[in-house]
Amino acid sequence: MKKTIRKNKISLVVISFVLPVLAVLLSYEMVKDNISRYDKEIQIYVKEIKGLDIRKSHIKYRGIDIGDIVAMSPDPDDITRFELQAKIYKDFDYLIKQGTIFWKVSANISLDKTENLDTILKGNYIQIQPPSFDIKVLRSLPDQLSFVATEQKPHKQGKIIELKSGKFVPKVGDGIYFQDIAIGEVLQNSLDGGISTTSVLIYKKYVEILTDDCYFYTKSPLDIKLGLDEASIKLSPINSILKGGLHIVKDTTIVGFNPLQIYSSKDILYTKDQSYFGFDLVGNTAKKGEAVYYKGIKIGYIKDQRLENRSKISSVNIEHRYRYLINSRTRFYKLNNIQADFGLDGLSVKVPSVAQLVSGGISLVSKKSKDQTIKKSYKLYDSLDNIKETYEAYRYFDISLSMEDLQNIKKTSKLYYKNFEIGDIKHISLKDGKIKLAIKVQKRYKNLFGKNSKIYLEGIKVGLDGVKNISSALLGDKLHLVASIGGYKKTFTIDSTNPVKDRYASGLRIKLTHKDAKNIFVGTPVFYRYIRIGAVQDIALHKSGVVFDIFIENRYKKYLKTDSIFKRNSSIDMKFSIFDSQIKIGTMRDIFNGGLSIYDGKSTTKARQGQSYKLDTSN
DSSP 54-76: TTT-EEEETTEEEEEEEEEEEET
The amino acid at 221? P
Is 50 exceeded by the pLDDT of residue 30? yes
What is the phi/psi pair of residue 42, to 5°? -125, 165
Measured distance CA(421)–CA(417) in Å, rounded: 6
Q: Is the separation of the CB atoms in 357 and 336 below 8 Å? A: yes
Q: Mean pLDDT lowest for which of 7-16, 176-185, 550-559? A: 7-16
Q: Indicate the average pLDDT of the chain.
A: 81
What is the phi/psi pair of residue 13, to 5°? -65, -45
Q: Mean per-residue pLDDT for 294-318? A: 91
Helix (H) or strand (E) holding 251: none
Q: Mean per-residue pLDDT for 433-456? A: 92
Between the alpha carbon of residue 4 and those of residues 9, 10, 11, 13, 18, the distances in Å are 9, 10, 11, 14, 21
Is 90 exceeded by the pLDDT of residue 82? yes
Q: Which of the four pLDDT bands, split at 50, 70 and 90, describes residue 584?
A: very low
Is 60 exceeded by the pLDDT of residue 359? no
DSSP count for the chain of H helices, then E strands:
8, 45
Measured distance CA(440)–CA(269) in Å, rounded: 47
Residue 16 has a pLDDT of 64
Measured distance CA(431)–CA(448) in Å, rounded: 27
Residue 309 has a pLDDT of 87
Q: Mean per-residue pLDDT for 560-574? A: 77
- DSSP letter for 564, please: -
Q: If we measure between CA atoms, which residue out of 321, 198, 206 comes closest to residue 254?
A: 321
Q: Which of the four pLDDT bands, split at 50, 70 and 90, describes residue 331?
A: very high
Measured distance CA(121)–CA(88) in Å, rounded: 23
- Per-residue model confidence as pLDDT tens digits over 499-525: 877 788 889 999 999 999 888 988 899
Q: Is the separation of the CB atoms in 516 and 615 below 8 Å? A: no
CB burial class (10 A; 0-12, 13-18, 19+) of residue 316? buried
Q: Which of the four pLDDT bands, split at 50, 70 and 90, describes residue 580?
A: very low
Q: Is the separation of the CB atoms in 528 and 596 below 8 Å? A: no
Residue 224 has a pLDDT of 55
CB burial class (10 A; 0-12, 13-18, 19+) of residue 392? middle
Q: Which of the four pLDDT bands, split at 50, 70 and 90, describes residue 38?
A: confident
Q: If we measure between CA atoms, which residue out of 358, 353, 231, 343 comes closest to residue 296?
A: 353
CB burial class (10 A; 0-12, 13-18, 19+) of residue 98? exposed
Sequence-separated (6 or more) residues with CB below 8 Å from residue 211: 250
Measured distance CA(98)–CA(147) in Å, rounded: 9
Kindly report the length of the chain.
619
Q: Is the separation of the CB atoms in 486 and 448 below 8 Å? A: no
Helix (H) or strand (E) holding 14: helix 2-37
The amino acid at 387? I
Percentage of the chain exceeding pLDDT 70: 79
Measured distance CA(133)–CA(463) in Å, rounded: 75
Query: DSSP characters for 64-115?
Result: EEEEEEEEEEEETTEEEEEEEEEEEEGGGGGG--TT-EEEEE--EE-SS-EE
Q: Which of the four pLDDT bands, split at 50, 70 and 90, describes residue 343?
A: very low
Residue 582 has a pLDDT of 46
CB burial class (10 A; 0-12, 13-18, 19+) of residue 8? exposed
Q: If we measure between CA atoms, which residue out of 581, 587, 577 comes closest to residue 530?
A: 587
The amino acid at 123? G
Q: If we measure between CA atoms, which residue out of 146, 106, 154, 94 comes closest to residue 129?
A: 154
Measured distance CA(238)–CA(224) in Å, rounded: 17
Task: Decide which of 360 and 243 is more confident.
Answer: 360
Measured distance CA(441)–CA(414) in Å, rounded: 10
Segments in 274-414 forming alpha helices (H): 354-359, 384-395
- DSSP letter for 228, please: S
**CA triplet 412, 415, 417: central angle to 5 degrees?**
145
Is 50 exceeded by the pLDDT of residue 586? no
Residue 463 has a pLDDT of 61
Using a cut of 0.85, tell me whether the model's pTM lies above it. Answer: no
Q: Which of the four pLDDT bands, split at 50, 70 and 90, describes residue 170?
A: confident
Measured distance CA(277)–CA(317) in Å, rounded: 6
- DSSP letter for 615, please: E
Query: DSSP characters for 478-528?
Result: EEEEE-B-SS---EEEEEEES--TTTTSSEEEEEEEES--TT--TT-EEEE
- Per-residue model confidence as pLDDT tens digits over 120-152: 777 889 999 998 888 888 889 999 999 999 877
Measured distance CA(403)–CA(433) in Å, rounded: 10
- Per-residue model confidence as pLDDT tens digits over 590-602: 545 568 999 999 9
Task: Decide which of 223 and 158 is more confident.
Answer: 158
Tell how far CA 416 is from the center of its chain.
29
Q: Mean per-residue pLDDT for 264-280? A: 79
Residue 187 has a pLDDT of 84
Residue 532 has a pLDDT of 92
CB burial class (10 A; 0-12, 13-18, 19+) of residue 184? buried
Q: If we measure between CA atoms, which residue out of 400, 402, 398 comes closest to residue 493?
A: 402
Q: Mean per-residue pLDDT for 318-333? A: 90
Measured distance CA(346)–CA(182) in Å, rounded: 49
Q: Is the separation of the CB atoms in 477 and 413 below 8 Å? A: yes
Q: Which of the four pLDDT bands, split at 50, 70 and 90, describes residue 573?
A: very low
Residue 362 has a pLDDT of 93
Q: Is the separation of the CB atoms in 456 and 480 below 8 Å? A: yes
Task: Decide which of 585 and 407 is more confident.
Answer: 407
Residue 464 has a pLDDT of 57
Q: Mean pLDDT lowest for which of 110-114, 115-119, 384-388, 594-598? A: 110-114
Sequence-separated (6 or more) residues with CB below 8 Å from residue 85: 41, 42, 43, 69, 70, 71, 72
The amino acid at 240? S
Sequence-separated (6 or more) residues with CB below 8 Å from residue 321: 251, 253, 254, 270, 275
Residue 33 has a pLDDT of 52
Classify each residue of 128-159 as buried b or exposed e, where b means 16 or more C-beta atoms within 10 Å of its C-beta: bbbeeeeeeebeebeeeeebebeeeeeeeebe
Residue 502 has a pLDDT of 77
Percentage of the chain exceeding pLDDT 90: 37
Is 60 exceeded by the pLDDT of residue 344? no
Residue 476 has a pLDDT of 85
Is 90 exceeded by the pLDDT of residue 216? yes
Measured distance CA(431)–CA(228) in Å, rounded: 45
